[in-house]
Chains A and B, each alone.
Chain A
Amino acid sequence: MSVDLSFYKGKKVLVTGHTGFKGSWLCHWLVKLGAEVIGYSIDLPTTPGHFQTSGVQDIVKDIRGDLCDYEFLNSTIEEEQPDFIFHLAAQALVRLSYDEPRRTFEVNIMGTINVLEAARQVPSVKNVIVITSDKVYENHAWEWGYRENDRLGGKDPYAASKACADLATAVYQASAFQKHASPARDLAISTVRAGNVIGGGDWALDRLVPDAVRAIIAKEDIVIRSPRATRPWQHVLEALYGYLILGVCMSKSKGDFSGAWNFGPLDVEMVPVKQIVEVILERWNTGTTNLVIEEENTGKEAVVLRVDSSKAIQKLGWMPVLSVPQALDLSIDWYRAYYENNTDMAQVTSEQIDHYFFMANKD
């Protein structure tokens, strides 16, 4: 029995980071559900990008603004009067966070605070979902999945900034704060912690699937240096489905559903990089790209952090259903449609959403 997403029909939803990969897919899904979507973000992070290739600018109110510009953010929310806010906008690249820790902290921490401040000032806003990350957990290098009440404490600036965003959100959410703040509010606020999302239309740097796709298009080999490395990969739609379900539950019963939620992938045992690339090349066999392994570190692979999704599974009726190979298949199909057939990518996106929804709800 799944939660009825038709709840979003006619609702005004603000999506920050709508120009990004995840945000763009979320906009499509929300619009499909009949929501009126307003996007707030700085300019496009990549060219190409899912946003422009699937025509998101045609289906949402596209507002370009900086999270750090509180005045503009606040006046936008005041003017648009959304019911819901999905806050995805962030400095999301780990490597960039090493070079620019301060900017990463500014955008991810102060930016989140700006969103929450603006949200609490505008009475129309009833629900806020803040997208943080599964990287917020302090890594104890143990085998178990992290639960929502485990210690937060990411070390690299990206992870630390997301952990801080989570901690800051916790206080805005706390009923003790909301009651004694001015104006007094009763917002339902949650943070959601998902893993390394993959899907069609991601062109970010230093991500495995986009890097592989770039190599295929350039007719170059895919060189991997850590073939045994793993990450908690999951399809973007799987994480987004969780967020959408959570949003419905929060608006029906805020006390029970505000808080932190993990949305992790299906498989406990993670697929290594080598296998990921093999699956990609199997699905997209051009004959001009080969897998080349130049293993740098032959020592033991670091134990990769994964989350325990029991809370979301039991309380929200959400369930991860796609294996990583299935997620890869969907992703590669999208990229192929874009590169080979000059297809209507809005249509492909929409079809993939329908397909995922079917997979998630059969039996």
Chain B
Amino acid sequence: MSFGNLEMHPGQAKTEFLRNKTILVTGYSGFLGHWLCESLLSTGCRLIGASKSVNAKISGVEHVICDLTQIESLFSLFDKYRPDLVVHLAAQSQTTTGMAELANTFEVNTRGTWNILEALLQFSPDAGFIFASSDALYGDIGEEIATESHPYKISTPYASSKACSELVVKSYAQQKNLKTIIIRLGNLYGPADSNVKRIVPGTILSLLNNTRPEIRGDGASIRSYLYILDAVDGFIKLIDALFKNKLVGETFNLCDESSVSVKGIVDTIVDIMNLPELSASLGNQKTGEIKIKQVSSKKLRQATGWQTKVTLQQGLEQTIRWYIEFNKSDLSGEQI
């Protein structure tokens, strides 16, 4: 899959230290995993991508099929590759799916996490472990801005499974001296997101298909959206720290710090694509989603010098440009 002429992120962190290291990325076939791998490929590391999808492939990444709920397959995987670093992104992540398949969400997200940790303990106990968690576990805190010390406030199965996974990670880290960092991600957007249930790709693709984008609910929910390459940059900085034995055991929010309403972001996309006649249609059913969410990434900024480099406007423009290009090559059905 080609990314065309999209520039790699300006000012990317130097990653010479990763040359010849073996890095395992689970969930690499997902949106974040894909971009993280793209970024890591240029570092000279040996990249192993684990996914349960048979089709997922990025050239340069050794693809392994792996089901997190089957611990035996994880043991084989770790035995074979003995990674120096594990970036655990794989999860059952959609809120709506979570409601319907609650037990499965815990199976994949929570049990899957301790399965990986058991395998890591057995075969690569000195490896670093970076765990992708979520700001969903802050819950509905209204006007407050969530920092890492906020308590869990659980209202969705996904959030609960992630909170539980964090406790599992911390417990293993503490008891077995594993080097871990937990990253709480907010919403991400950017090119090559194949999950059309997410608001940005969903909206762009509706518009490309000449349909009015639909908003679940009233669109008044306020969120932040982090450009994918800014997110990757955050990961790279924390990978760097972990290899230097710094920030071990810490938890960091990795979120954009400006906020926009769901309707606002949809309107901006409609605007950039210049299709005012296809303005959003609003639903009115309540789906149990949270009204406002503001999360601070100050801790990450202060610890690593990370900052967002792409504004929402710029990011959406790049994203839209990519989808237009991609749509032209008529590969819109392909799974990433």
Q: Residues of A at under 8 Å CB distance from B?
A: 98, 101-102, 105-106, 109-110, 113-114, 117, 149-157, 159-161, 163-164, 167-168, 170-172, 174, 176-177, 179-182
Q: Which segment, of B18-26, B106-114, B321-329, faces chain A?
A: B106-114
Q: Which of A106, A109, A113, A156 has the largest count of B CB atoms less than 10 A from its CB?
A: A113
User: Hey, what's the 0/1 contact readout for B98-128 against A, CB within 8 Å counting as 1?
Assistant: 0110110011001100110010000000000
Q: Are B152 and A181 in contact (CB under 8 A)?
A: no
Q: Are A109 and B171 in contact (CB under 8 A)?
A: no
B residues 148-176 with Cβ under 8 Å of A? 149, 151-152, 154-157, 159-161, 163-164, 167-168, 170-172, 174-175
A-B residue pairs in contact (CB < 8 Å), sample of 28? A101-B118, A101-B172, A102-B118, A105-B110, A110-B107, A110-B110, A114-B103, A149-B151, A152-B151, A155-B175, A157-B175, A159-B171, A160-B171, A163-B164, A164-B164, A164-B168, A167-B152, A167-B160, A167-B164, A171-B156, A176-B155, A176-B288, A177-B99, A177-B157, A177-B288, A179-B288, A180-B288, A182-B100
Given known contacts A168-B106, A177-B99, A156 and B155 CB-to-CB distance under 8 angstroms: no
B287 within 8 A of A: yes
Q: Which residue of A lies closest to B288 (CB)?
A: A176
Q: Are B287 and A113 in contact (CB under 8 A)?
A: no
- What is the CB-to-nearest-CB distance from A75 to chain B, in angstroms, rounded to a whole number? 16
Q: Are B151 and A150 in contact (CB under 8 A)?
A: yes
The answer for the CA separation of A180 and B286 in the assembled complex, in Å, is 9
For B156, give its contact among A117, A154, A161, A177 (CB under 8 Å).
A177
- What is the CB-to-nearest-CB distance from B96 to chain A, in angstroms, rounded to a whole number? 9
User: Hey, what's the 0/1 contact readout for B156-198 against A, CB within 8 Å counting as 1?
Assistant: 1101110110011011101100000000000000000000000
The answer for the CA separation of A110 and B154 in the assembled complex, in Å, is 17
Q: Are A181 and B100 in contact (CB under 8 A)?
A: yes
For B167, give its contact among A98, A110, A117, A160 (CB under 8 Å).
A160
Q: Are B152 and A152 in contact (CB under 8 A)?
A: yes
- What is the CB-to-nearest-CB distance from A177 to chain B, in angstroms, rounded to a whole number? 7
List, in ascending order, chain B residues with CB within 8 A of A102's CB. 114-115, 118
List, in ascending order, chain A residues with CB within 8 A of B171's CB. 101, 154-157, 159-161
- What is the CB-to-nearest-CB distance from B208 to chain A, in angstroms, rounded to a whole number? 31
List, in ascending order, chain A residues with CB within 8 A of B106's CB. 109-110, 113, 168
- Other than A157-B175, A167-B160, A168-B106, give 13 A-B pairs with Cβ distance below 8 A: A105-B110, A105-B168, A109-B110, A113-B103, A152-B152, A152-B167, A153-B170, A155-B174, A160-B168, A164-B167, A167-B163, A170-B160, A174-B155
Q: Are A174 and B103 in contact (CB under 8 A)?
A: no
The answer for the CA separation of A150 and B154 in the assembled complex, in Å, is 13
Q: Are A171 and B155 in contact (CB under 8 A)?
A: yes
For A98, give its contact among B103, B118, B175 (CB under 8 Å).
B175
List, in ascending order, chain A residues with CB within 8 A of B287's CB. 180
Q: Which residue of A lies closest to B111 (CB)?
A: A110
The answer for the CA separation of A174 and B159 in the assembled complex, in Å, is 12
